[in-house]
Structure 1
Amino acid sequence: MRQAAAELLRNKPRDSAAGRGIPHWLTGPEPRGFRPKRRFRTVWISDIHLGTRGCNAALLVDFLRSLECETLYLVGDIVDGWRLKKGWYWPDAHNEVVRRVLKMAHRGTRVVFVAGNHDEVLRDYAGMTFGGVELTLEAEHVTADGRRLLITHGDNFDGVVLYARWLAFLGDQAYTLLLRANIVFNAVRRRFKLPYWSLSSYMKKRVKNAVQFVSSFEDAVAREAVSRGFDGIVCGHIHCAEIREIGGITYYNDGDWVESCTALVEEADGAMAIVDWAAESRSGVAEHHRMESVE
């Protein structure tokens, strides 16, 4: 995890003007003809798991390049410290994600990083700002239509993580095997010119115990929001994008960038929606954005 932090620091812009140390990737222009086609008030993404082979970094960079927003929330598990402790993996595509986020911060987007359980070492730095990125344990967001939302990663509601950490690592190993199968599966699909499709997400949704766990997790999260007087709650952690009403509040989960490649977005009027970037890529929408971005 210390190596990951060092990697982030190497990409962190230095506080100096052009010609005095600011890297070109931070201040340089976008590709010729680049025009973001989507403008959101707020974007939430989580569970990127940089430092793992399952991370769909290229898809995430495409998504971030396609938009502009006032605020970007990174809702935990952005860097996977658990995996990096077992073996170093950090390709340049993962640097590109970091650079894109820092570039957004440099250009005026407020970036808030709510640390998760896989990047929990960053919780020690809550309240600090690095490269324009605010680190915090949780956050409060007020939508354009006046609703108060609690922003938290969600691992504190996961009984496995909370009460038996060693069981969580056991589960992490089993989950890693499934993700590796997902990587091989999609490598074969690419050879046949087929788009990305999440095998692990498909299987998880069809396992009875997984469905029961997700339901219990969502109920626990909703109860927390109600008890603290919020109108809704935004989380990640379980890799299941969702928007639904529970007990008088709105539950939002922004999904992940390992399986489903989804984000939660807020429009200028406060309307909220899930963006399924993998599905848009399959339908050609993402390719349309790329073609319009470069002459």
Structure 2
Amino acid sequence: MAQRPNVRTLFISDLHLGTPDAQAELLLHLLRRVRPERLYLVGDVFDLIVMKRRAISVFDGQQQRLLRHVLRLARTGCEVIYIPGNHDAAMRTFCGERFRSVEVMRDAVHVTRDGRRLLISHGDEFDGHYKAPKWKLVVGEIALHSMRRANRWTVHARRRLGRPYWSLSAALKRRSTSVKQFADAFRRSALERAHREGVDGYVGGHIHIPWFGLSEGVVYCNDGDWVENCTALVEEFDGRLRLVDWTNTTLVDDPQPPSGEREKTEMESWLADAEEPGGEERG
């Protein structure tokens, strides 16, 4: 018998299944504790770009178990909405279709229990909005791949030593001025689209930089990724939103909760705590 949902909605993005970087085990850990009525898969669930380049794709037992778990959720009453991203853009051909109880959509508008309308998209449509010299983009891409390789070995070593998950690449990106500028440009573009479409907020992924805040009355959330940060967005049954990690620990609480009172937990305090040597081991 399926377990009853304990949250209203869960938003996850950038799983990059089919690669050795996917943290499927940690996402399974979250999904066994957070059981949603509705699940949004906000793009790059599969990394078809990397899978096409590699002679042998990495689709290990944990990744297969994760897929079976998601399909079981869809089969047992959870509404699963899949919004393809740029790494699984081939799936956009099937927008408007339904497969194995999973609905494929280009983007969506989600209405929270307290009536807020949130635009959901992967976010790659904003790629051209960040202006930088071509050489800087090339160097950044090389640095990104290098950091992910280093992160892969760091995660593996920590597991062998019995240490909890911590992302080297995420910590390095938080210290990068260029990454902050890129994230700011993405956030501005997302908020501009939200204003144009007259919604109350935006939820996306794509850039692997989790963030949750309020700007001119509009909620902006990047729910992060499952390669480096292992974060997700949760909607409780009263409409309150939480940015959480893989242990379901709240990283940032709703900047505009149903009560109208701002919580003490701030995005800036989470970023500061994540950089502290003792702040890396949650859960």
TM-score, normalised by the number of residues in structure 2:
0.82
Q: Which residue of the partner structure matches residue 270 of structure 2?
A: none
- 1:177 is paired with a residue whose SS is helix
Would you say the 8 A contact 2:15–2:46 is kept in 1?
A: yes
* CA separation of 1:128 and 1:161: change in aligned 2, threshold 3 A: farther
Letter in 2 for 1:126: C
- Within the candidate set 36, 46, 66, 2:33 is matched to 66
- 2:6 is paired with a residue whose SS is strand
Q: Can you give the 5+ residue segments of structure 2 that lack an aligned partner in the other structure?
A: 250-279
* CA separation of 1:105 and 1:133: change in aligned 2, threshold 3 A: same
Kindly state the Cα deviation for residue 168 of structure 1 after the two structures are TM-superposed.
7.6
Kindly state the Cα deviation for residue 177 of structure 1 after the two structures are TM-superposed.
2.2
- Within the candidate set 225, 245, 266, 2:194 is matched to 225
Residue 81 (str. 1) matches residue 81 (str. 2): no
CA deviation map 1:264-286 (0-9, x unaligned): 000111000111116859444xx
Distance in 2 between residues matched to 1:50 and 1:92, nearest whole Å: 11
* CA separation of 1:248 and 1:277: change in aligned 2, threshold 3 A: same
- Within the candidate set 210, 219, 231, 1:250 is matched to 219
* CA separation of 1:95 and 1:173: change in aligned 2, threshold 3 A: farther
- Within the candidate set 147, 156, 159, 1:187 is matched to 156
Structure 2 counterparts to residues 245-284 of structure 1, below 5 A: 245-277=214-246, 280=249, 282-284=281-283
Q: Which residue of the partner structure matches residue 10 of structure 2?
A: 43
Letter in 2 for 1:267: E
Residue 158 (str. 1) matches residue 127 (str. 2): yes
The number of equivalent residue pairs is: 251
Distance in 1 between residues matched to 2:248 and 2:35, nearest whole Å: 20
Distance in 1 between residues matched to 2:72 and 2:79, nearest whole Å: 11
More displaced 10-residue stretch of structure 1: 185-194 or 97-106: 185-194
* CA separation of 1:170 and 1:156: change in aligned 2, threshold 3 A: farther
Q: Can you give the 5+ residue segments of structure 1 that lack an aligned partner in the other structure?
A: 1-28, 285-295
CA deviation map 1:16-62 (0-9, x unaligned): xxxxxxxxxxxxx68xxxx67x7110000000000111110111111
Letter in 2 for 1:264: L
Would you say the 8 A contact 2:7–2:37 is kept in 1?
A: yes
Would you say the 8 A contact 2:223–2:243 is kept in 1?
A: yes
Instruction: Calculate the aligned-residue CA RMSD, in Å.
Output: 2.6
Letter in 1 for 2:192: R
Would you say the 8 A contact 2:33–2:248 is kept in 1?
A: no
Would you say the 8 A contact 1:260–1:278 is kept in 2?
A: no
- 2:227 is paired with a residue whose SS is coil
Kindly state the Cα deviation for residue 231 of structure 1 after the two structures are TM-superposed.
0.5
- 1:72 is paired with a residue whose SS is strand
- 1:82 is paired with a residue whose SS is helix
Percent identity for Structure 1 against Structure 2: 42
Task: Spell out structure 1 runs of 4+ moving beyond 3 A.
Answer: 160-165, 167-174, 278-284
- Within the candidate set 86, 104, 113, 1:117 is matched to 86
- Within the candidate set 87, 94, 100, 1:131 is matched to 100
Q: Which residue of the partner structure matches residue 4 of structure 1?
A: none
Letter in 2 for 1:208: T
CA deviation map 1:140-197 (0-9, x unaligned): 10110111110000010112799999x9888555422211100111222223221111
Distance in 1 between residues matched to 2:217 and 2:152, nearest whole Å: 39
More displaced 10-residue stretch of structure 1: 70-79 or 192-201: 192-201
- 1:158 is paired with a residue whose SS is helix
Would you say the 8 A contact 2:203–2:222 is kept in 1?
A: yes
Distance in 2 between residues matched to 1:148 and 1:283, nearest whole Å: 31
CA deviation map 1:95-130 (0-9, x unaligned): 111111100001100000011000000011100111
Would you say the 8 A contact 2:34–2:248 is kept in 1?
A: no
